[in-house]
Chains A and B, each alone.
Chain A
Amino acid sequence: MTEPRSTRDAYRDHLVRMMRDDPRIVCLDTDTGLFGGVDFGDAADRYLNLGIAEQNLMGVAAGMAAAGRIPFVNTMATFAANRAAEMVKLDIAYNALPVRIAATHAGVSAGHLGPTHHALEDLGTMRAWPNMTVLAPADAATVTALLDETADRPGPVYLRLGRGPTPPLPPGLPPVRLGALHPVRTGREAVLLAVGPQLLPRCAAAVDLLAERGLAAGLLHAHTLKPFDAATLLEWAGPARLVVTVEDHWRSGGLGSLVAETLSERLPRPVLRLGLPDGFADEAGSEAWILDRAGLSPGDIAAAVAAADPGPAEAGLPSVRLVPTTIAKRSVRHG
């Protein structure tokens, strides 16, 4: 389990196992190619390739779920969150039906394929809808652990998946539990929350760089955005001088918004929200290149955290100050 593996492949392989064990599950495909060569065995009649039609996909899944099935629907994150959005909202979320939306190519994992295939708002739309469970696991083992927890979970689940191979979480961590923030590093001077298989390892490396500078930062693996573990966030944010969110998502609507919303009600304080700038990619680029360029390399994350860190509180001075966001300077060029 130490080999890099994409969360997408981990999902696919685990789904095939789940289908053998649970006859309620059906796998509905939109010709994604994800299941080419897969042997479904006795479950072969429960795999249906419905064609390239995501609106129909979501409606069909809702109908099948209303009839007692647990459909896993397969498409790219941007098509689930945008093209078929109304079907997800009305047919699936409104009816609280147990449809599992497997959304590949999340964030900028489609890389050079460009803005038509990037999904930088999906966490915002999915978590806005009532009844949704929103998952964004950061490694293959988390995918299988979370999927096992969804077996009898009522209502729909959105499963945000990356594309390329990514490293496993380090060994020795506490087990992943759906709905619970997952501590990956335990420093308490600052706390970083990261979403997804690209940003969690980058943040882990950033935490190491910060440690070299003498800043002990914690890192929380935010694999469940809804329901959100506000209690653990407050527990970690309380003693920390700085709260930081890092995501492969536009800075509006996703993890940063969620954390800021939660803290504003319970523990108001500045939040440094790192993510993709408010623009569309206008140049080809690999996922890594696009993230680096958006200021999301380990070095830039560490630098942004250090710059925003107010330092240890001095007597008579507030322990936090307003933080500048560096992201605006890095906004994608237009025209």
Chain B
Amino acid sequence: MSGDVLTPAETERLAAAADRIRHRVVDLCASAVGGHLGGALSCVDILTVLYFSVLRIDPGRPDAPDRDVFVLGKGHAAVGLYAALAERGFFDPGELAGYGVDGSRFMGHPVTAVPGVEVPTGSLGHGLSLGLGFALAARLDRSPRTVYVLVGDGELQEGSCWEAIMCAAAQGVPNLVAVVDRNGMQLGSPTESVCALEPLAQRWRDFGWRVREVDGHDHSSLRAALRADPEGPTAVLAETVKGRGLPFAAGQAKSHYATLSPRMRERAHRALRSGRKPGPS
């Protein structure tokens, strides 16, 4: 996983972006409707590295041909995606104040009316097939496009995921990268106590994928792992913590959905500020 070491300036840039995104996630979850706090925070670092270092995209031309495509399989992490897109410049971050408000385009699951969202998601088990479709089209078009799909670990209990995983390997697409947000939790319990996924890396390998296991909160490791492999589809298993960065939420199933009170919102911002020092941890 060497050869893609971040420079100190890049490290600082990504850490600052992730920090801003986390604060925005807290704000969105302090809205009247709340949001999927835990599963958004677990993937903030993945989204940050993708949107600020990996994806070949141009916020000024969201429909540019041959752009890389990102699909949020775990669509309930919409508040994380909205925050990342806002920070990346796809729209004015001030628009996020409309999240969940009557008549707003910022719904609880992402929709294509939001600039930068390629496909709407929210029902689990759709993202990998959609991503495979983009990848197959790119192969026919001889496009340099790489497709990244962020999948929840609980989402992998949906059988349709495994249809896509099997098919992608059979088709041998080299331009598809699945990223598993392995936070170990689903709605109310650990994944392993509900319907066990382990040995997860072996399962992906057995289905014909190249597998990279990384610390899903380490930007340098993520940057090195998030790339396609000419030999075929690649799965990046990112070990993460649900509710990452908030001591009262981290690793806890109850962080799945939250509507933060003003007091909890302040507490969350304080926790994020203190966690900011010394690094992006």
The answer on a CB contact under 8 Å between B134 and A91 is no
A63 touches B134 (CB 8 A): yes
| CB <8 Å contact, A66 and B119 | yes
Task: Evaluate whether A91 and B140 lie within 8 angstroms (CB atoms) in the complex, with A51-B166, A55-B160, A56-B163 already known.
Answer: no
Q: Is B129 an interface residue (CB 8 A)?
A: yes
Task: For the complex, give the distance between the alpha carbons of A45 and B167 in Å.
Answer: 16
Is the CB–CB distance between A55 and B137 below 8 Å?
no
Mark each residue of chain A from 10 to 47: 1 if its CB lies under 8 Å from any CB of chain B, else 0. Answer: 00000000000000001000000000000000000110
Q: Is the C-beta of A294 less than 8 angstroms from some C-beta in chain B?
A: no
A51-B167, A51-B170, A91-B119 known; A59-B140 Cβ under 8 A? no
Q: Which residues of B contact A55 (CB under 8 A)?
A: 125, 129, 159-160, 163
CB of B216 within 8 Å of the partner chain: no
Q: How far is the CA of A60 from the CA of B129 in the complex (A)?
A: 5
Nearest CB of B to A93, in Å: 11
A94 interfacial contact with B, CB 8 Å: yes
Given contacts A51-B170, A56-B164, contact A87 B134 (CB under 8 A): no
List B contacts of A71 (CB < 8 A): 133
- Asked if A95 is at the interface of the complex by the 8 Å CB criterion, the answer is yes
B202 interface residue per 8 A CB criterion: no
Kindly state whether residue A48 has any CB partner on chain B within 8 Å.
yes
Determine whether B22 belongs to the interface, using a CB cutoff of 8 Å to chain A: no
Known: A55-B163, A62-B119. A90 touches B134 (CB 8 A): no
Contact A56 B129 (CB under 8 A): yes
Is B213 an interface residue, CB under 8 A from the partner? Answer: no
Q: CA A67 – CA B132 in complex, angstroms? A: 11
**CA of A59 to CA of B129 in the docked complex: distance in angstroms?**
5
CA distance A177 to B164 in the complex (A): 38
Contacts of A48 in B (CB 8 A): 136, 171
A193 CB within 8 Å of chain B: no
Q: A64 touches which one: B120, B134, B163, B170 (CB < 8 A)?
A: B134
Q: Which residues of A contact B136 (CB under 8 A)?
A: 48, 60, 63-64
B198 interface residue (CB < 8 Å to A) = no
B123 within 8 Å of A (CB atoms): yes
Bound CA–CA A55/B171 (angstroms):
16
The answer to whether A90 touches B140 (Cβ under 8 A) is no
**A62: which B residues are within 8 A, CB to CB?**
119, 129-130, 133
* A66:B129 contact, CB within 8 angstroms: no
Is B134 a contact partner of A67 (Cβ separation < 8 A)? Answer: yes
Q: How many A-B residue pairs have CB under 8 A?
A: 94
Q: Quick check: B126 and A67 within 8 Å, CB to CB?
A: no
- Judged by a CB distance under 8 angstroms, whether B152 is at the interface is no
Residues of A within 8 A of B118 (CB): 66
Q: Using Cβ atoms and an 8 Å threshold, which residues of chain A touch B133?
A: 59-67, 71
Chain A residues with CB under 8 A of B163: 51, 53, 55-56
A59→B134 contact, CB < 8 A: no
A58 to B125, CA, bound (A): 12
Judge whether B137 and A90 touch: CB under 8 Å.
no
Interface 0/1 of B122-146, CB less than 8 Å to A: 0101101111111111101100000
Which residues from 164 to 184 on chain B have a C-beta closer than 8 Å to any C-beta of chain A? 164, 166-167, 170-171
- Contacting pair B123 A63 (CB below 8 A): no
Known A-B contacts A59-B132, A66-B118, A95-B119; A45 and B164 likewise in contact (beta carbons under 8 Å): no
Knowing A86-B123, A95-B119 touch, does A59 contact B138 (C-beta < 8 A)? Answer: no
Against B, the Cβ 8 Å flags (1 = close, 0 = not) of A52-95 are: 01011011111111111101000000000000001100110011
B134, A66: Cβ atoms under 8 Å?
yes
A95 to B120, CA, bound (A): 8
Closest chain A CB from B134 CB (angstroms): 4
CB <8 Å contact, A53 and B119: no
Contact A60 B119 (CB under 8 A): no
Would you give the 0/1 interface string for A286-307, flagging 1 where the beta carbon is closer than 8 Å to chain B? 0000000000000000000000
* B170 partner residues in chain A, CB cutoff 8 A: 51
- Could you write out 23 A-B pairs with CB less than 8 Å apart? A26-B140, A46-B140, A48-B171, A50-B167, A50-B171, A53-B167, A56-B132, A56-B160, A59-B132, A62-B129, A63-B119, A63-B131, A63-B132, A63-B134, A65-B133, A66-B119, A67-B69, A67-B138, A68-B137, A69-B137, A86-B123, A86-B126, A94-B120
Q: 7 shortest A-B CB distances, which residue pairs?
A: A63-B133, A59-B129, A67-B137, A56-B163, A53-B163, A60-B133, A55-B160
Given contacts A59-B160, A60-B129, A62-B119, 9 further A-B contacts (CB under 8 A): A50-B171, A53-B166, A53-B167, A59-B126, A59-B132, A60-B130, A63-B137, A69-B140, A90-B126
